[in-house]
Structure 1
């Protein structure tokens, strides 16, 4: 009961942290990136190297377009429009920016990819676009909620814990995993400064 009250209190405190954004349609259309088949879902999990605890969860979806759902995340690029934690125009350079922003001397990023049918990819695209702005500290809850409602992902838990979701995702048939490391300084704001200079993405 006490744990339930703590969670309710946490939800109440973090609910104010959601920051709705809604880029205009012309901006979204202008950067739309289509990688083409095969279709896949990639789960990104950021892990604190000092404590071993999970720090963040996000999903990259490659379907009729490629975008990333970065719930309650702090990453952005001024040339990439955002709608409620969904970032459009995720070409390879944009994805490299995203990974580099999160990966540093104190954090590793786990990248787990599973190939899916076009129908499943479209379901995930629709679900991330409809989810809405995510409050702080709720990234994994949002990510797990979206995934477990889609065929093939029913075994995933509804959880607040990034590493728990990552462990379950790693058991899905056909998943591939890589751990990304970097020796960037813990203060990784240089990545943001590069992005803020307005350099266009190819």
Structure 2
């Protein structure tokens, strides 16, 4: 019976589109990046320029290490290990690659940062690491779920809509916001090609 239930859960997960990934511990530790910046939580929202609708949500967590929780995202870097939508080794250059991949002539990226206590940052870090692989189209639900479980962020809505979450996040005290635009072609695979050619990620 347990085997049947396990197989049912496995196939159910696959049907939802979740893609479990688990990088080896040695790769995760080798990529680990600690920022000198104060602890913070940054919400990234990708917005369609023509329709104004939200297309994606992700969280950058700056705690005892800096990672990005990119639920059901398509971005990856061969030198940055991933565990179930958590990408490790998010240096400034890696973050710039992430933003450049999403910002293009048809999409803007909204960056909203709020500084938090080390305890709150560590809480979010634990939550994203434990969340698991996220099914396609559920990025904002996963992002909002993590935030709602966090002290100081309980007012966040449980939602599937990136713009709704971004609007609520923008009302938090102390949030700084910038909108990132780019004229890259809509087919932005060239960003990944540059990364694969060995452009260093330090700094």
Aligned to 2:150: 150
Aligned to 2:196: 196
* Cα deviation code 1:134-161 (max 9, x no counterpart): 0000000000000011100011000000
The alpha carbon displacement at 1:195 in A equals 1.7
CA–CA separation in structure 2 for the residues paired with 1:101 and 1:199? 15
TM-score calculated relative to the size of structure 2: 0.91
The alpha carbon displacement at 1:14 in A equals 8.1
Aligned partner of residue 152 in structure 1, secondary structure: coil
2:90 counterpart of 1:95: no
The alpha carbon displacement at 1:13 in A equals 9.4
Aligned partner of residue 134 in structure 1, secondary structure: coil
Cα RMSD for the two superposed structures: 1.3
Aligned partner of residue 55 in structure 2, secondary structure: strand
Q: Is the 8 A contact 1:14 1:136 kept in 2?
A: no
Aligned partner of residue 156 in structure 2, secondary structure: coil
Aligned to 2:23: 23
* Cα deviation code 1:61-88 (max 9, x no counterpart): 0010000000000000000000000000
CA–CA separation in structure 2 for the residues paired with 1:136 and 1:86? 15
The alpha carbon displacement at 1:192 in A equals 1.3
2:139 counterpart of 1:139: yes
Aligned to 2:68: 68
Please list every run of 5 or more consecutive structure 2 residues that lacks an aligned counterpart in the other structure: 1-11
2:40 counterpart of 1:40: yes
